[in-house]
Amino acid sequence: MSQYFHIHPDNPQARLIKQAVQIIQNGGVIAYPTDSAYALGCHLGDKNALERIIRIRQLTDKHHFTLLCRDLSDIATYAKVDNPTYRLLKAHTPAAYTFILTASSEVPRRLMHPKRKTIGLRVPDHAICQALLAELNEPLLTATLQLPNESEPLYDPEDIFECLGKQLDLVINGGFGTLIPTTVVDLSESGNPIIIREGAGDISPFI
């Protein structure tokens, strides 16, 4: 059965953040709030935890997994980015965007899009996310918490606990989420941003 932490959305309690990160490092799958919808997260290198997220979401191999990053310092490690693309990223992070980028050789093949060899990267503007990433000291593998056959993400942490408590190791209650996921922008072809999904982030800079 899942643990359930109440974490302050503006001033996250360090003790609870440490415990949450220990759960992630021990192979746990968590539900946590972001600057858009609630999300599922696990350790980047944990194949079993990834498979649990795939089962919960009933994802296909064409799904773009996303790495939640503290800032752009991880970009060069996990993605191939030229200078114009980097400037575009710098101007629009942290924010509620997921950027599709060409994956580097550091990204496990199971996380890449099978044909395009791309990966999603995201820098959130949310104190709980930033605290988790600072304590973890590496990106978090993440996916929007939207259940199969549902048109919108789950936004109430109590509902998440009730629906998924037996399938998760931790639910973080940081207040209500939104029904709007991130805006997804494909930047894998330099100089040609493509809007994949309009969501919480303003699309006008990429049109």
pLDDT for 156: 95
Residue 37 DSSP symbol: S
CA 121 from centroid of its chain's CA atoms: 8
β-bridge partners, 66:
120, 142
What pLDDT, in 10s, does the model give residues 170-193? Answer: 999 999 999 999 999 999 987 789
Average pLDDT, whole number, for the chain? 94
What pLDDT, in 10s, does the model give residues 35-54? Answer: 999 999 999 999 999 999 99
Q: Is pTM, for the whole model, over 0.85?
A: yes
Cα radius of gyration (the chain): 16
What pLDDT, in 10s, does the model give residues 144-162? Answer: 999 998 888 999 999 999 9
Q: How many CA atoms lie within 13 A of 117 on its CB side?
A: 8
Number of domains in the chain: 1
pLDDT for 17: 98
pLDDT for 75: 85
pLDDT for 190: 78
pLDDT for 163: 94
The CATH number linked to 142 is 3.90.870.10
What pLDDT, in 10s, does the model give residues 64-86? Answer: 889 999 999 988 899 999 999 99
Residue range(s) defining the domain that contains residue 180: 3-206
What pLDDT, in 10s, does the model give residues 87-119? Answer: 999 999 999 999 999 999 989 888 888 788 999
pLDDT for 63: 83
Cα angle 124, 76, 52 (rounded to 5 degrees) comes to 55
What's the CA gap between 108 and 146, in Å, rounded? 24
Listed residue (176, 173, 174, 80) closest to 121, CA to CA: 80
Q: Is the pLDDT of residue 62 over 80?
A: no
Torsion of CA 159, 144, 166, 8, to 10 degrees: -60
